[in-house]
A = this chain, B = another copy of it.
Amino acid sequence: MPTLFRKVKDVKNFIRDIKNSAGNAHSIGLVPTMGYLHEGHMELIKKSKLQNEITVVSIYVNPLQFGPEEDYQRYPRDLERDLAMCEEAGVDVVFAPTDEEMYPEKPKVRIEVEGISDVLEGAFRPGHFSGVALVVLKLLNIVHPDRAYFGEKDFQQLKLIQRLVKDLSYPVEIVPVATVRDKDGLALSSRNTYLKENERESALSIYRSFLIAQKLFKAGNTNANDLKQAIREYISKHPHVKKIDYVEIVDEDFNIKEGEVSQGDRILVAVWIGNTRLIDNWRLSYEEV
């Protein structure tokens, strides 16, 4: 079994002892999660285990990154199942703090990254990225990892963290890990458990719309509006699609593209399937899928 810590103090002491242990310094990999682990998380863990001597998985459903109308209460939780999966994956440490441990007082700090916090996910979920930034910086300060692992599935979050770490000179390497998809193309997400079977069928339209856009792009259509339009049209003709929050294309610096797109640009979408809000993204490329 991985060693389970519930208190900030305890995991800090454990890390300090490792770092101070005589001989070679151990490298530490951190995989921050909100639990209810799936194969996407397992990829993060696998990569951390390849690159580090110690892998720490944090499991914490961070209330600060949920809006008042969002699914904080409903978000799936199952620590026992998560622990079993961590054991299976060979995780060394699980840090699963209580709210009281993480926020003994309501935090007063707000952290924004210009051009990231305020657009797309940030615009639809005000305060979300400040909550993400706060909890990730806390985890970095508590665990002091050499590397931290983030899925490309939450692409805007990844960009936010990369920029935070750069601007604040954090001594950590942020390692992105490619999105894991089910056989049918649905990007893995703990929120997929919300989907009823017929909703899940509609949710596949997201992945398929990417393939359509990708095909157009490879055929020479590099017009951002054409690609976005094709995606919107394809997705919206499916049942249970209640609303498309956005379909946008960004470049590697997260500038929103108008006009011509190019290889490496990324399509980002947020779609409501019934009462479930899904996000996904796709990197435009001339290569085969």
> Contact partner of A116 among B108, B111, B115, B141, CB < 8 A?
B108
Q: A108-B163, A110-B113, A141-B168 are in contact. List 18 more A-B contacts (CB 8 A).
A: A12-B171, A19-B19, A105-B166, A108-B114, A108-B167, A109-B111, A109-B113, A109-B114, A109-B167, A110-B111, A110-B114, A111-B111, A111-B112, A138-B167, A141-B170, A141-B171, A142-B171, A144-B171
Q: In chain A, residues 91-150, which have Cβ atoms closer than 8 Å to a Cβ of chain B?
A: 105, 107-116, 134, 137-138, 141-142, 144
**A168 with B134: CB separation less than 8 A:** yes
A163 to B137, CA, bound (A): 14
A59 to B218, CA, bound (A): 53
Q: Does A219 contact B (CB under 8 A)?
A: no
Q: Does A50 contact B (CB under 8 A)?
A: no
Number of copies of chain A assembled together: 2
**Residues of A near any B CB (own CB < 8 A):** 8, 12, 19-20, 22, 25, 105, 107-116, 134, 137-138, 141-142, 144, 163-164, 166-171
Interface centre among A113, A142, A168, A170 (most CB of B within 10 A): A168
**Which chain B positions have C-beta within 8 A of A109?**
111-114, 163-164, 167-168
